[in-house]
Amino acid sequence: MSKPRLCELYHLGVLFGDGALLFWPDAFLRHDFTGTLSSLWGWFPGTTLSLPLCPAISIQFTKEPKSQDALHGRSAMLRCEVGNPANITYEWYKDDERLENTERRFQEGSNLKFISVDRQLDAGSFYCKALNYGTGEMLTSTEASFNIKCE
């Protein structure tokens, strides 16, 4: 399951009795209002104006890994893909440890390819992370596992 977004309370500034709104320095401006602001929104002089801001989700999975049956010794693939792959890098994890590519199991594009599924080595939960290296946003996929059967 994807992790929930966190929202932050962003403090805009302080409303004064004359209708002036002094923004905090990180809001970059000072603006005078006509006085209707306080009556419309119920704000009064000395009130700190705050808004909850939730960052927009720019990464959304279009394909996430799914648990599946697999035959011991046969190939398999776990899929992971986002809608807009520009600036995205993918990482795969098994039981919360980052996976390194091997000859038997490796990342192929955004997916995790298994040349030969192994009952012991591939028991556990797999998931991928998509990182937008332009914005720093990271999204974690749902977990998936194999039900590995003998031929």
pLDDT digits (tens, 9 = 90+) for 47-80: 555 555 555 557 899 999 999 999 999 999 999 9
| pLDDT of 3 strictly over 50 | no
**Angle made by CA atoms 115, 117, 123, in degrees to the nearest 5:** 140
Binned at pLDDT 50, 70 and 90, residue 39 comes out as very low
**Structural domains of the chain sorted by starting position, each given as residue range(s) with its CATH number in brackets:** 8-53 (no CATH), 61-149 (2.60.40.10)
Name the pTM for this structure.
0.63
Q: Which helix (H) or strand (E) holds 94?
A: strand 88-94
Q: pLDDT tens across 11-29, in order?
A: 555 555 555 555 544 443 3
pLDDT value of residue 56:
56
pLDDT value of residue 129:
97
